[in-house]
Chains A and B, each alone.
Chain A
Amino acid sequence: EVQLVESGGALVQPGGSLRLSCTASGFSFSDYWMDWVRQAPGKGLEWVANMRGDGTQKDYADSVRGRFTISRDNAKNSLYLQMNSLRPEDTAIYYCARHVVYCFDSWGQGTLVTVSS
């Protein structure tokens, strides 16, 4: 069974940093593109970033480019999102999702990031 478990969400002040983690199990992690998708409270879904299975390609939404960095450690079956220069508008549940044939077939439960003073 595919499982994705996010962690690392917290309350952080504007301008602060946070690192999210996603631990995967039940599939060959290195074979898959993995993505981060976020959802602001009461709002819709927004794609944030993704990374190819071997780590050689990655991309970001314009809203986070230059502030967020996606990475992965295939030996640990883990995906990460380093978030710097956080803004109140980054407040959201952050989901880790497995990317298959240009859609997301498995999602974690999400981790809440709150940016507030």
Chain B
Amino acid sequence: DIVMTQTPLSSPVTLGQPASISCRSSQSLVDSDGNTYLSWLHQRPGQPPRLLIYQISKRFSGVPDRFSGSGAGTDFTLKISRAEAEDVGVYYCMQGSQFPHTFGQGTKLEIK
């Protein structure tokens, strides 16, 4: 199975300031079709996860443009340009390039 490793596991951020989360996979996520199926999810306390970013950098419908994704191969990053109060919660990366699909352990974003 592909292991997804996120850093940091906890990230205190000041409102209006940027935040960044890294995700590294144990194998390349480039699929045989040439695409890379790396997505990011956000889970607020007591809520189900929701999709933010798919295929490394494509924002899902309704996701604010302060969220952006980048990376290639085995190294990926989620960036929040200016953190807002509603951004608190846990962020997960997920790989869909190989079965079983696997998730990172999560990064908890807290407002300072």
Chain A positions within 8 Å of B, measured between CB atoms, are 35, 44-47, 59, 61-62, 95, 101-110
Which DSSP category, helix, strand, loop or mixed, fits chain B's interface?
Answer: loop
Residues of A within 8 A of B97 (CB): 102
Known contacts being A45-B92, A102-B97, is A107 close to B48, with CB within 8 Å? yes
Task: Enumerate the 9 nearest inter-chain pairs by beta-carbon distance, A residue then B residue, closest first.
Answer: A102-B96, A102-B37, A103-B39, A107-B48, A45-B103, A103-B54, A47-B101, A44-B106, A105-B51
Question: Interface residues, chain B, CB within 8 Å of chain A?
Answer: 31, 37, 39, 41, 48-51, 54-55, 60, 92, 94, 96-97, 99-106
B102 contacts A101, C-beta separation under 8 Å: no
Q: Besides A44-B105, A104-B51, A105-B60, 5 other CB < 8 A contacts? A: A35-B101, A47-B102, A59-B99, A102-B31, A105-B54
* Chain B residues closer than 8 Å to A61, beta-carbon distance: 100
Q: Are A44 and B92 neighbours in the complex by a CB distance under 8 Å?
A: yes
Q: Is the interface of A mostly helix, strand, loop or mixed?
A: strand
> A44 CA to B101 CA in the complex, in Å?
13
The distance from the CB of B58 to the nearest CB of chain A, in whole angstroms, is 9
Is B103 a contact of A109 with CB atoms below 8 Å?
no
Complex CA distance for A46 and B103, rounded to whole angstroms: 7
* Cα–Cα distance between A72 and B100 once the two chains are bound (Å): 20
CA distance A104 to B103 in the complex (A): 12
Residues of chain A within 8 A (CB-CB) of B100 are 47, 59, 61-62
